């Protein structure tokens, strides 16, 4: 766990390095490297910009590069990031980079790292483990600056499987479509295993003062523009002290890939993933929620529901834990079956701070429901796998619906409450299949 072996990344893909887009991306990455000495930020990313240029744009020959005002540090190109991902990963936006897989590709009990969703607000910093430090300051008795070795040597390592889901996961299911990353209805989420130090152990060592209310996290990422403020947000002290809130250095037993926060990130499981700051360099204990654009302008929902299409009202609240949600990971949309053939329906259910009480399946658009079997509960913030075998009796197009209920009695709605920034889509998931004559 202590070694940061870059050669261990991308292994999976080398086996499957088959087609088109990824070959292109890889080649583009190499070409980019050749063309762009000293400018690590040249990426396919920027190519999306050039694609907007009129066809008559002159010059396809790179001019002799003039010294460019440097970014604050090196960045990892989108091409390099995507080359390390599974070919089923779909890029949603290039600037900033966001990507995910659809539900039928998330059937594994533990989300493989190369299928973990990507969502960035800024660029992807190319950090090194050597010399990386984490500073703990603010309302603490003993401010500290820790190296990675300090962190691993001082605090016991904890491993837990935990959900991370972008606040806007499933956004395109909302109508009208709110602004933001166009996550498909099956969303931006995953449930890998994380390893790190418990934040509460670190905070206890630093000595939290009685006036502490929130704990803010700061990442080392930066934008194209020096004027871009850092992505920073805070969480309430009670969540910071929860034993599953980790300062993580590993995912699925391997060092974090650069795009997922190497060498250190927060993992605040069950909550909107913007709380899980990547490229973590600073933790500050505060007497109030952090003030900043990622706290005050986004990641907020109306305090009281608004009609679809309305503006954000004055009264709004910061997004925290996800509500109850489930997705069908098998069968895949469009799968074909014969009448009476057994269909193994499977999926995942999760519920933020709560646990899953039951999952039900409907083959008749919600008129009747059958209870699915739930796998044994795992870690507190891990999703639960559900399964049910069904035999379709009617020929033609049919749908499978899944509906989860949590330990507090909250049930997934048919349609999630519309909100101006399109957060917390947890409407019932629905998969269409084709049933043919036996």
Q: Which residues bind another protein (CB under 8 A)?
A: 20-21, 23-25, 27-28, 31-32, 35-36, 39, 41-44, 46-53, 57, 59-63, 65-66, 68-69, 82, 91-96, 122, 176-180, 182, 223-229, 293, 297-298, 309, 311-312, 420
Closest to another protein by CB, 34 vs 367, is 34
User: Among residues 169 and 195, whose Cβ is nearest to another protein?
Assistant: 169
Min dist CB 66 to another protein, Å, is 6
37 burial (CB, 10 Å; 0-12 / 13-18 / 19+) is exposed
- Min separation Cβ 427 and another protein, Å: 20
Quote the least distance from Cβ 301 to another protein, whole Å: 15
Identity of the residue, 180 or 323, whose beta carbon is nearer to another protein in the bound complex: 180
Choice between 181 and 405, CB closer to another protein? 181
Which is closer to another protein, CB of 91 or CB of 203? 91
Q: Which is nearer to another protein, 70 or 153 (CB)?
A: 70
Distances (CA, A) of 261 to 6, 125, 257, 264, 277: 14, 9, 7, 6, 8
* Residue 59 vs residues 38, 39, 63, 79, 408: alpha-carbon distances, Å: 22, 20, 9, 24, 63
In the complex, least distance from residue 341 CB atom to another protein, rounded to whole angstroms: 35
Q: Tell me the β-bridge partners of 373.
A: 387
Minimum CB distance to another protein smaller for 68 or for 415: 68
Least spacing, CB of residue 73 vs another protein, in Å: 15
Cα–Cα distances (Å) from 48 to 31, 37, 53, in that order, read: 16, 20, 9
Q: Min. distance of Cβ 267 from another protein in angstroms?
A: 25
**Other beta carbons within 10 Å of 263:** 22
């Amino acid at each position: 766990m202590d070694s940061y072996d870059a050669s261990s990344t991308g292994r999976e893909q080398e086996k499957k390095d088959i087609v088109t887009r990824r070959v292109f991306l890889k080649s583009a990455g190499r070409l980019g490297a050749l063309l762009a000495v000293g400018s690590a930020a040249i990426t396919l990313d920027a190519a999306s910009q050039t694609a907007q240029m009129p066809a008559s744009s002159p010059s396809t020959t790179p001019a002799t590069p003039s010294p460019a005002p440097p970014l604050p540090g090196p960045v990892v190109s989108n091409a390099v990031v995507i080359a390390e991902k599974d070919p089923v990963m779909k890029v949603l936006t290039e600037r900033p980079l966001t990507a995910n897989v659809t539900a039928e590709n998330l059937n594994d009990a533990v989300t493989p790292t190369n299928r973990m969703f990507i969502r960035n607000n800024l660029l992807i910093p190319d950090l090194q483990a050597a010399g990386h430090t984490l500073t703990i300051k603010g309302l603490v008795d003993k401010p500290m600056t820790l190296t990675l070795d300090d962190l691993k040597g001082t605090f016991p390592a904890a491993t837990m499987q935990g959900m991370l889901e972008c606040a806007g996961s499933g956004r395109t299911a909302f109508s009208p479509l709110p602004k933001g990353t166009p996550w498909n209805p099956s969303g931006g989420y995953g449930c890998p295993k994380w390893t790190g130090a418990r934040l509460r152990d670190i905070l206890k060592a630093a000595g939290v003062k009685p006036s502490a209310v929130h704990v803010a996290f700061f990442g080392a990422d930066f934008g194209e523009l020096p004027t871009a403020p850092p992505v920073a947000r805070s969480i309430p002290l009670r969540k910071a002290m929860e034993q599953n809130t980790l300062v993580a250095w590993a995912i699925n037993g391997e060092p974090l890939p650069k795009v997922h926060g190497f060498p250190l990130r927060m993992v605040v499981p069950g909550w909107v993933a913007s709380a899980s700051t990547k490229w973590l360099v600073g933790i500050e204990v505060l007497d109030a929620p952090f003030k900043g654009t990622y706290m005050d302008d986004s990641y907020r929902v109306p305090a009281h529901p608004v009609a679809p299409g309305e503006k954000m009202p004055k009264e709004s609240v910061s997004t925290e834990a996800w509500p109850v949600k489930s997705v069908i990971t098998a069968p895949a949309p469009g799968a074909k079956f014969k009448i009476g053939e057994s269909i193994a329906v499977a999926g995942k259910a999760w519920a933020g701070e709560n646990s899953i009480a039951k999952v039900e399946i409907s083959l008749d658009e919600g008129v009747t429901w059958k209870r699915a079997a739930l796998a044994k509960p795992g870690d507190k913030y891990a999703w639960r796998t559900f399964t049910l075998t069904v035999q379709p009796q009617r020929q033609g197009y049919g749908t499978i619906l899944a509906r989860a209920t949590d330990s507090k009695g909250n049930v997934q709605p048919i349609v999630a409450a519309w909100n101006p920034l399109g957060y917390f889509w947890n409407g019932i998931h629905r998969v269409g299949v084709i049933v043919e004559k036996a």
